Structure 1
């Protein structure tokens, strides 16, 4: 059995590795002409690291990333509002939370693929079902016949648009900038993820390697992302902490990635016949909980377990039953958190911050536990 995967992102590569370890061969088709490091970091939360522990990749990921002990929400001046201590989950699940350069993680995953093919410069143009499975037409004019297909091709998935057209992409009316910079963080911040909330905007930063910081910033807009330019980003966050302003000024502006934030309105079906969606293609979420890639990594592991135990249709049905409720819970919570974080009324901001300070740590722990728990077949 050979399974075709559209997309060589974190979800697609992890799926190929998990299937490889089950003795299932895959072919991966990726639109990029070459796989090169993207200027962004990624936080591999406890649930993602549990998967990589099962796949034998925990140690190499830890060696190439930075350990994160807590996740903090702060005011713009970095005075704390809320803190989630991750040590409880480290002890319970025997893995740490790791921040790592996305390019470094991608290279680790590629190196782990032994026998599976990665076909670059294969941007999917059209997918059609036929008597033998699926006909894949690529923009390079190549055509491939596929018997089993996994769509790991992101928010604007061609697989989903071709075979699951009844889906809706929602624009959050927020622009996001991401950057990686050489920067020596003050010692207090080296093993923390900090996200500072202002008025209709916020700024997060985390160390991903020695003296290397990944940061992201979001701001609400009214007319379109062209309202804001990366070249003016220092002005947008001039009321923030001096640490944050220094991180921004140390970053080369031409290396800052700018994008509008969108998600996929939760849908009831991720599969039909012998095609299945995973990751952002199935449940794209806003980045407000740092779970986008983590949920795709969970998909990869659970789907490989299902495909190793059941025939294809039952495997896809079981996968959807196990993963859909949790993924959609995270999609909804992330969308709501994005709205709460971008309040503009000073009175509402004050009430929000006070409520967050008063929230018991046991409640935060319970919420995190629901996200970090991996289901068993």
Structure 2
């Protein structure tokens, strides 16, 4: 095996995940982050079975750090049950649990698993120059660094994507989320059930995140130029919704609100140059309608680690092979997220109630169809214990 010098741009979920994977394979990895410290903004992340499987394969186990989820329930704004999936059965079928975890804790867990000297802060990438036998990354402070491969894990406004591919940035979808992560005495904050509530022109969700924390989100149509809603305005929009929506909104303030317009990237055929590639939101940012963005990022990191585990000669063929195998799954999930988001105004009277077994089976099928890691692990022979 040939050891590579890998330059990772971005110390978010994707950058930390790929660093863990490639260091475990013996590569020399350096991660460069434009912020002055780890970015701990954001609320909670639902790490589905494919995400927890990918993390486990990358050497990071978050089960003890997060909140296991046992049920996923969806109701209408009048409280009528649409469907409920048994996430315990999903775990049994796919071999890995669903865990809700604060984003800051996930970032901390992955960063703590890295050796000293890997993370570099205050280094804003401004340029990527590829040569036949190496790649150079330039920074805003005038410095540069040389490596064998550069991986753009720098999010929806990726400088690496712009430098190696050009093209349009991610586009808004016409929706936005107002979300937060707060301590709560509401019973749902201390359980193991995700509650999604679907309205005619708005949606919301509540997810227990461990230690009495509740991740909540409110989605409404939004486009550039529209006002950013306050808590008082959200209370008006969601007045009369099923419990505990009004109680939750009564307990939070504008300081608790995070505002996130929904966006979507066009997923290109090729993700990089001779010595570069992309992962996560840098290549396939998607609306949060199916809660898979972070999980697809972890899938990218896992698969790229597999392709770069045994490098002989130029890495270009391996980078393109990673993209070719990963793209169909990521594209499918991205399209599903966009379609789900676009159909959120479907009249709810047309939506029939799904039996629990069918909702559970659909969840299993959906996770498996969009996952490289679950399909790979399913092909591995099971160890029989006497």
TM-score with structure 2 setting the length: 0.89
User: 1:269 Cα deviation (Å)?
Assistant: 1.0
Does the 8 Å contact 1:155/1:280 carry over to 2?
A: yes
1:6 aligned partner: 9
**Residue in structure 1 matched with residue 89 of structure 2 by the alignment:** 88
- TM-superposition CA deviations, 1:144-193 (whole Å, max 9, x none): 33331000011111110111113452210112112011112325972111
Distance 1:212-1:335 versus aligned 2 partners, 3 A rule = same
Q: Once structures 1 and 2 are overlaid, which stretch shifts more, 17-26 or 47-56?
A: 47-56
1:333 to 327, 332, 336: 336
Is it true that 1:22 corresponds to 2:20 in the alignment? no
Write the deviation string for residues 235-270 of structure 1: whole angstroms up to 9, x where unpaired.
222232231122223223213111211010222111
Aligned to 1:306: 307
Root-mean-square deviation (CA, aligned residues, Å) is 2.3
Cα shift at 1:305? 1.0
Instruction: Confirm or deny that 1:376 pairs with 2:376.
Output: yes
Shift of 1:75: 0.9
Change (3 A) 1:119 1:327: same
Deviation at 1:359, TM superposition (A): 9.9
The answer to whether 1:33 aligns with 2:32 is no
SS at match of 1:281: helix
CA distance in structure 1 between the partners assigned to 2:121 and 2:21 by the alignment = 21
Partner SS state of residue 181, structure 1: strand
Indicate how the Cα distance of structure 1 residues 21 and 349 shifts in structure 2: closer, same or farther if over 3 A, else same.
Answer: same
- SS of structure 2 residue aligned to 1:125: strand
Change (3 A) 1:313 1:228: same
1:199-278 equivalence runs, <5 A: 199-221=200-222, 224-226=225-227, 228-230=229-231, 232-278=233-279
Taking a change above 3 Å as real, the CA distance of residues 51 and 285 of structure 1, as seen in their structure-2 partners, is: same
Is the CA contact (8 Å cut-off) linking 2:329 and 2:372 kept in structure 1? Answer: no
What's the counterpart of residue 108 of structure 2? 107
Indicate if the aligned counterparts of 2:188 and 2:208 stay in contact, CA closer than 8 A: no
The answer to which of 27-36 and 297-306 deviates more is: 27-36
Distance 1:82 1:248 in 2: 24
Give distance in 2, aligned partners of 1:187 and 1:159.
41
CA distance in 2, matches of 1:215, 1:11: 23
Give the Cα–Cα distance (whole angstroms) in 2 for the partners of residues 226 and 96 of structure 1: 39
Superposition deviation, residue 203 in structure 1 = 0.5
What is the CA distance between 1:309 and its match in structure 2?
2.5
Deviation at 1:132, TM superposition (A): 5.2
Structure 2 residue 172 is matched with structure 1 residue 171: yes
TM-score (norm 1): 0.91
* CA–CA separation in structure 1 for the residues paired with 2:277 and 2:368: 27
Unmatched 5+ residue regions in structure 1? Answer: none
Over 3 Å counting, the alpha-carbon distance change for 1:107 and 1:251 in structure 2 is same
Work out the CA distance in 2 between the residues paired with 1:131 and 1:91: 47
- For 1:314 and 1:260, how far apart are their aligned partners in 2? 36
Does the 8 Å CA contact 1:175/1:225 hold for their aligned counterparts?
Answer: no
Instruction: Please say which of residues 148-157 and 29-38 is displaced more in the overlay.
Output: 29-38
Q: CA deviation at 1:27?
A: 0.6
Does the CA contact (< 8 Å) of 2:228 and 2:259 recur in 1? no
Find out whether 1:342 has 2:342 as its counterpart: no
